[in-house]
Amino acid sequence: MKRVIVLSFLILVIPFAVFSVEKKIQLPPDHPFGKLTAGPGSELTEKKCGLCHSTDYIVRQPRGDFKRWQGVVTKMIKVYAAPIDEQEVRTIADYLASAYGTAAAETTKPK
């Protein structure tokens, strides 16, 4: 009897085990670490710049003035066709330059 059980276990399970089959994972939601600092234009920025990727792409970028951030936003439009109009570019770059601007001290010190 025992041998029958072992045998049927082998017959039933081994082929399935060999061809075992599906892998499924579940990813967590965007981490709060990427949340943008509140300020004029932050909601628009959160909405537009969170369309294709989480906004943690933004928070650890090199700080920059209006021109540098405008460059980043323009790249998103030119290269990836981000749906952002002229007026919104200004609002977003203004916001980013004030929230993630050059004024705040920044270390480039090697470790």
Partner 1 sequence: MATPSRRTFLNALGLSGVCALGDRILPPMMRLFAAEDPLLSGRPLVRYPEKTDLILLTSRPPQLETPMRYFDRAITPNEAFFVRYHVSPVPTRVDLDTWRLKVGGSVETPLELSMDDLKTKFERATVTAVAQCSGNSRGRFSPRVNGGQWADGAMGCAEWSGVRLRDVLNKAGVRKEAVEVLFNGLDKPAFPSVPDFMKSLDVSRILDDPNILIAFQMNGESLPMLNGFPARIVVPGWFADHWVKNMSEITLLDKPNDNFWTRAAYRIPDNTCGCVEPGTSPSRTVPINRLKVRSFIAMPANDARVPIGHAVQLKGIAFDGGSGISEVQISDDAGNRWRRVALGKDRGPFAFREWSADWTPPRAGDYRILVRAFNTLGESQSATPLWNPAGYQRNVIEQIEIHVV
**Site mask, partner 1, residues 42-61, x = CB under 8 A?**
---------xxxx-xx--xx
Which residues ranging from 35 to 64 are in contact with ligand HEC (CB under 6 A)? Answer: 48-49, 51-53, 57-58, 61
| Total binding residues toward ligand HEC, as defined by CB under 6 A | 17
DSSP state of 33: G
For residue 40, the Cα-to-chain-centroid distance in whole angstroms is 22
For residue 77, the Cα-to-chain-centroid distance in whole angstroms is 17
Q: Please identify which residue in 79, 86, 87, 104 interacts with partner 1, judged by CB under 8 A.
A: 79
Q: Are 101 and 65 in contact (CB under 8 A)?
A: yes
